[in-house]
Structure 1
Amino acid sequence: MVQDTAKTATLSKTGQGSTKQDILRHILKQGEATAQELADVLEISPQATRRHLKELGTDGLVYHEAVQNGMGRPQYVYYLTQQGRDQLPHDYGEFAVSFLHTLAETAGEEQVQAVLEKQWQRKADDYRQRIGEGTLQERVEKLAELRQAEGYMAEYSPLEGSTPQFLLFENNCAIASVAESYPSVCGHELEMFAAILPDCKVERTHWLYQGEHRCGYLIQLIENE
């Protein structure tokens, strides 16, 4: 545990570590990446990129698979390990999980679910006040900013169509430890977004805990008939 903490500190305090963090973030957002893609995005040489990837692999933060394209040499595609994900923002929620386990043992699972639901209702009220009123794009943009500040690596993009609609992506789960033990919090998150944007239809499009590399939501304005 001490070694892992020291490694994180080293990565964040040096310029080299910053580049490695950028590599981890990009792979997290895209799900996978080649060395050339990373070099292009980060604007560093392919040689430097491969050196960083080799060191990250040695540290157990990334792994690669060979993909054959055509008749040429196979191309290496890089992915994050769970340890690599742990290098990026998350909640260190061991205490929260322990507390919920204790609550389940003393008061029962129903009480745990009631507490989780109440928590997301309070969160929705706070978000609504901070987001305020405005166009759907203004509100989605503010929501993405709030989630980004909480470690979700959130981003959004507009979709074409006659009705205003947006995709909201969360490339990191800031409550991963809680969601792993109590996956119902993911359902509460969907309910929370719907409560924050009551004039919208909110649907889940991607789910980290169904094997995808991020969570995603389709937010569509409900037009009055």
Structure 2
Amino acid sequence: MALTGHPSTKEDILQHLLKRGHATAQALAESLEISPQAIRRHLKDLESEGAIVHRSVQAGMGRPQHVYHLSEVGRSRFPHHYDEFAVSLLDTLAETVGRDGVGQVLQKQWERKAIAYREQLGSGSLRERVANLVELRRAEGYMAELVELESSPEEPENRFVIAEYNCAISSVAESFPSVCGHELHMFATALPDCQVERTHWTIDGDNRCGYLIQAHRD
């Protein structure tokens, strides 16, 4: 939702981070003239909403400080027309090269993204790589959650579900639903030793997109 009307304290924090790039809780408290305790409560809420993220920075001999900055979700709360531009651009491209041509361009884009994901996921356990993937998706505005399914005699292997409650490309997906197929392939490419299946799809009316991930069986 875009920021309108009189800003709240949370909106003040988001605007400060948008202008400054990053800040500590203490710096925010001093700038906004609010107690550090109140600022930390707001920061905790904003982080749970996925609007901000933090990194730990060592300052001298003391405890590491949390430095906060906006996530893609946080940036999306300010007015913008990126989705409209992206859909308009793809429509123009479709008129020029046809929808099949657009599909080829999108497929190439997702292939590049899959390679980038694979490099960032590392070479750890399946659980570690899937958790890293969820963090990458959160940073991109997908409001992703990770669920580890319980094993059973019938399903002894580790199985995970990634649920995404916000689609960062929803406008594009509505006009060009083929991107969702490319996205599914992207996950499979980023996790080459896994089988990836779609369990839920917002385009079908679900409240989320869901992906079941499990290791390939011999």
1:108–1:131 distance in 2 versus 1, CA, 3 Å:
same
* Correspondence for 1:199: 193
1:169 partnered with 2:159: no
Structure 2 distance, partners of 1:109, 1:176, is: 18
Identity %: 54
Deviation at 1:109, TM superposition (A): 1.2
Q: What SS does structure 1 have at the residue aligned with 2:207?
A: coil
Does 1:216 pair with 2:172? no
Where 2:217 maps in the other structure, the secondary structure is coil
Paired residues for 1:147-162 under 5 Å = 147-161=137-151, 162=156
1:180 paired to 2:174: yes
Q: Is the 8 A contact 2:3 2:77 kept in 1?
A: no
Give the distance between the partners of 1:149 and 1:87, measured in 2 at CA.
14
Quote the residue 2:16 is aligned against.
none
Structure 1 residues 13 and 88, CA, compared in 2 at 3 Å: closer, same or farther? closer
> RMSD in angstroms over aligned alpha carbons?
2.9
Q: TM-score, normalised by structure 2?
A: 0.65
State the SS of the aligned residue for 1:116.
Answer: helix
In structure 2, what is the Cα distance between the partners aligned to 1:166 and 1:106? 41
Instruction: Please state whether the residue corresponding to 1:99 is helix, strand or coil.
Output: helix
Deviations 1:174-221 (A, max 9, x none): 001111110111111111111111111111111111111111111011
* Alignment partner of 2:130 out of 133, 140, 148: 140
Q: How many residues are aligned here?
A: 158
| Residue of structure 1 aligned with 2:94, choices 88, 104, 107 | 104
> Deviation above 2 Å: which 4+ runs of structure 1?
8-12, 86-92
After superposition, the Cα gap between the structure-2 partners of 1:131 and 1:205, relative to the gap in structure 1 and judged at 3 Å, is same
Q: What 5-or-longer segments of structure 1 have no aligned partner?
A: 27-85
**3-state SS of 2:146 partner:** strand
Tell me if structure 2 keeps the 8 A contact 1:204–1:218: yes
